[in-house]
Amino acid sequence: MTTSRLTATHDGLTFDVEESGPARGPWVVLLHGFPVNSQCYDEVIPRLHEAGLRTLRINQRGYSPGARPDGVDEYRLEKLVDDVSEILIQLNISYSMIVGHDWGGIVAWHLAAKYPDRFTGLVAASTGHPSAMRDALAVGDDQRRRSAYIKDFIADGAEENLRARDGVLLRKAGVPKEELAPILEPGALTGPLNWYRANFTGDVAANLACPPVEIPTTMVWSDGDAALGREQAEFSGRYVYSDFRFSVLEGVDHWIPEKAPAALASEIALRSNRF
């Protein structure tokens, strides 16, 4: 087993990445969500290595200290997707599985749809296909209530509110305490919040629009998720034109990588045909 901490550059930015695991293992690319960085996969990665998989995790735009551009438009979804695509090209990773949780899941859905020839499979945790989210918002009030927090994230002063009292609001939302330190550093929250500001204002449906996915896909959803309901996860099967597996984790909240690392790793290994 080897672990290498590297940097990759794209769009004038420098990203912190880490590759580890068996040298000849199939690649698994891990994308984190808001507001935590790739540390969220700390307990998942060793289990993937045991299954013979090699991992790459990326601290994405706004999270790597060298990749915090000014301006909301610098965080539009197409830029987030291009970051990952170009980093993989730079690191000569031409074929991999893609895994994403929360916002990382949205990026992963888009990568899988845009580059089906570059990914062996997709595992999305918590966040369903963007079109499935649209469907869930249309059928009733449940997902609209769950998504109400977004208005607070795009508001002026959101950084100060979330940093107040050592991140009490984030801790109440379940963010693991040990993962809060990087995001509470001065200036560290603006980039991550700009993911919301750039993509959840204006024509949100157009901002997030994603074609169907044509690679084998697993959707992992937890029934204790306060932000993302079952409908947006289950409806994702409508937009997967390949094998689709819907996996429900009972008694687990939104933070699947940290709270259910063994279950998530098992789903990834299963999708990779390593079990």
The set of catalytic residues is: 102, 196, 254
Q: Across the chain, where does the E strand assignment appear?
A: 2-10, 13-21, 27-31, 54-58, 96-101, 119-125, 217-224, 244-253
| Sign, CA torsion 33/234/274/249 | positive
Alpha carbons 55 and 49: distance in angstroms, whole number: 8
Nearest to 151 by CA among 141, 161, 142: 161
Rounded to the nearest 5 percent, the helix, strand and coil shares of the chain are 45, 20, 35
Give the bridge partners for 5, in sequence order. Answer: 18
Inter-residue contact 105 to 202 (CB < 8 Å): no
Q: Across 126-270, where does the E strand assignment appear?
A: 217-224, 244-253
